[in-house]
Amino acid sequence: MGEDGAQQPLSPWRCIGVWGRPEPWGWAHDRHHAHAPRSSGPCHSTTSASPSPAGSHPCNPRDFGHGSLVCECSATYCDTLDPVTLPPAGNFLMYESSKAGKRLERSEGRVQRSLTAPGIEYNLVRVPMASCDFSVRLYTYADVRGDFALKHFNLTEEDTKMKIPILQQAQAMSRKPVLLYASPWTSPTWMKTNGAMTGRGTLKGKPGDKYHKTWANYFIKFLDEYAKHNLTFWAVTSGNEPTAGEIIFYPFQCLGFSPEHQRDFIAHDLGPALANSSHKGIQLIMLDDQRVMLPYWAEVVLKDPVAASYINGIGIHWYLDFLAPIDLTLSMTHHLFPNYYLLSTEASAGSYFWEPRVILGGWDRGSKYSHSILTNLNNYVTGWTDWNLALDLEGGPNWSKNYVDSPIIIDSSKDLFYKQPMFYHMGHFSKFLPEGSQRVGLATEQKCYQCDLEYSAFLRPDGAAVVVVLNRTPMDISFVISDPGIGFIEAKAPADSVQTYLWMRQKGDPGRPPQGPQAQGEEKGAPLH
């Protein structure tokens, strides 16, 4: 998953890393037993950091002077994680990354090995249909004017020499299914009102006519061609950022839709085309745009029973989150339409014009990822997609120079790549929350009104409990996690850190949630949230 290093001028594909399948709560992406000392009373756990066990490789740190480290990788060496083995009931594992330099560092007791994947176990990949801004040229699969039968529909070298081989390799390497979902940026220009891939323009005609039927069949042709290479898709979105195509002089590929237009296109064209195709069970995700559009966009589309019958989920992007309070957008949408999952389909750091594009070792960007993931998960989102997983030192390639940062940055001149703090922040979720995990509530006891820990708790299908804790403050904060029937975990979140706690729950406990974090007070009397 991620961009490959194939030579120009082929278009690197904007992959999207991630972990999470929304059914009903899923994070695909785990084993070492940790034995912590037991006491005769409540289980006050102690931990010790042990050397990396055989089979794992530590980070090769490199400091570029931006406040934290990257982990340098080459063709012969790269840091890896050991598989995760659940500890017995009453014990726990803790993984920690920090601005100071820890990268998914484990605290543990004795270790036993088992067979799971050595990486951070992403399981969801977003694949662009044809070109997008992170291509090196503009193209579609049906550029022959007036080809309503799509007789000249063809994949390109970007697909056959890059995307398809990479996806096949990823699936072959993964021990769990890799779920693919596809998003188109634009239709062929001869279908559009402005005759161009960029700028303000939408489909000619109206839903139900030959332009809309042809555009819907374009999706089916894409799925058909990839199926010939043994690649099947879990879902498609109705189109990337439909509001972008309503903006005059928009600088890269787009196709405009209003919510009413998208509703009618799905009801009359795309929905029936998918339902009547050979791709049975494929899911359809609407919106695929900023969450500020919610809940209005969902109300327009999903209150139409025909359109709603074809839709499974709602895709959201993070770029305008600062304009959209999460409780008034995501939570409200969930409560209005609880049968449709919410999926974060795009996020990238360094995208605002005032920001540096690539910051090697930028810890704050990793913290921003964890903050977004936690707040999304705590408000009914079922998965989170990064964009892009791998880019070059400039933040591209990108034909429109719309450069951004990435969890993995490649220095092709040195045959190296750097795993950024963002990569490890994502790993604190993807590695430990397999598909089917369920978010549960935390009953918190707050004694601190000046500190601010962020956290979420989950029950995994195998019976384990997971708590992720993010500390974005400049102070260490001690806290306690209490799990009824198990005991307590006394812990400390160092300044600028993210931690994942994992322990096995007692058999027969169907899901009474853990409690905490409960503040202890630490450093200048500042306990935690």
Q: Quick one: pLDDT at residue 119? A: 86
Report whether pLDDT(112) > 50.
no
CA 87 from centroid of its chain's CA atoms: 27
184 and 276 share a domain?
yes
Q: What angle do CA 159, 165, 171 make, to 5 degrees?
A: 125
Work out whether strand 443-445 and strand 453-459 pair parallel, antiparallel, or are unpaired: unpaired
Assess if residue 68 is contained within a domain: no
465 and 342 share a domain?
no
Q: Quick one: pLDDT at residue 3? A: 34
CATH number of the domain within which 261 lies: 3.20.20.80
Catalytic residue among 96, 108, 346, 454: 346
151 and 108 share a domain?
no
Assess if residue 39 is contained within a domain: no
139 and 111 share a domain?
no
CATH number of the domain within which 458 lies: 2.60.40.1180
Side chain identity, residue 136: V
Assess if residue 447 is contained within a domain: yes
206 and 281 share a domain?
yes
Query: Helix and strand tally (H, E) in the chain?
Result: 11, 23
Q: Quick one: pLDDT at residue 45? A: 32
94 and 130 share a domain?
no
95 and 211 share a domain?
no
What average pLDDT does this structure show over 459-472? 95
- 29 against 201, higher pLDDT: 201
Assess if residue 383 is contained within a domain: no
Q: Quick one: pLDDT at residue 449? A: 66
| Domain boundary residue, one of 330, 347, 364 | 347
Catalytic residue among 3, 241, 435, 522: 241
CB atoms within 10 A of CB 272: 15
Q: Quick one: pLDDT at residue 94? A: 84
Across the chain, mean pLDDT equals: 85
What average pLDDT does this structure show over 236-259? 98
- 344 against 512, higher pLDDT: 344
Q: Quick one: pLDDT at residue 25? A: 38
CA distances from 171 to 110, 156, 164, 167, 168 (A): 33, 21, 11, 6, 5
101 and 192 share a domain?
no
Assess if residue 362 is contained within a domain: no
Assess if residue 212 is contained within a domain: yes
Q: How confident is the model at residue 11 (pLDDT cuts 50, 70, 90)?
A: very low
Tokens in use for 115? 């067979």
pTM: 0.82
Answer whether 383's CB lies under 8 Å from 376's CB. Answer: no
CA distances from 220 to 129, 292, 338, 351 (A): 11, 30, 28, 32
Q: How confident is the model at residue 54 (pLDDT cuts 50, 70, 90)?
A: very low
3-state secondary structure 492-529: EECCCEEEEEEEECCCCCCCCCCEEEEECCCCCCCCCC
**pLDDT one-digit tens code per residue, 58-82:** 999 999 999 899 999 999 999 988 8
Q: Which of 116-130, 140-154, 353-367 is predicted with the least confidence, judged by mean pLDDT?
A: 116-130
Report whether pLDDT(529) > 80.
no
Q: Quick one: pLDDT at residue 366? A: 98
In sequence order, which residues have a C-beta less than 8 Å from that of residue 508 and are 6 or more positions away?
Answer: none
Assess if residue 469 is contained within a domain: yes
132 and 112 share a domain?
no
d(C-alpha 301, C-alpha 311), whole Å: 9
99 and 185 share a domain?
no
Report whether pLDDT(188) > 60.
yes
Respond yes or no: is residue 241 known to be catalytic: yes
Domain that holds residue 102: 87-118+441-504
Q: How confident is the model at residue 56 (pLDDT cuts 50, 70, 90)?
A: confident
| Domain boundary residue, one of 320, 347, 374 | 347
Respond yes or no: is residue 246 known to be catalytic: no
**pLDDT one-digit tens code per residue, 471-517:** 999 999 999 888 887 888 888 999 999 999 999 886 655 555 555 55
CB atoms within 10 A of CB 112: 12
Assess if residue 178 is contained within a domain: yes
Report whether pLDDT(365) > 50.
yes
Report whether pLDDT(150) > 70.
yes
Q: How confident is the model at residue 106 (pLDDT cuts 50, 70, 90)?
A: confident
Q: State the total domains in the chain.
A: 2
**pLDDT one-digit tens code per residue, 262-320:** 999 999 999 999 999 999 999 999 999 999 999 999 999 999 999 999 999 999 999 99
310 and 456 share a domain?
no
196 and 235 share a domain?
yes
Q: Which of 2-6, 336-340, 436-440, 487-491 is predicted with the least confidence, judged by mean pLDDT?
A: 2-6
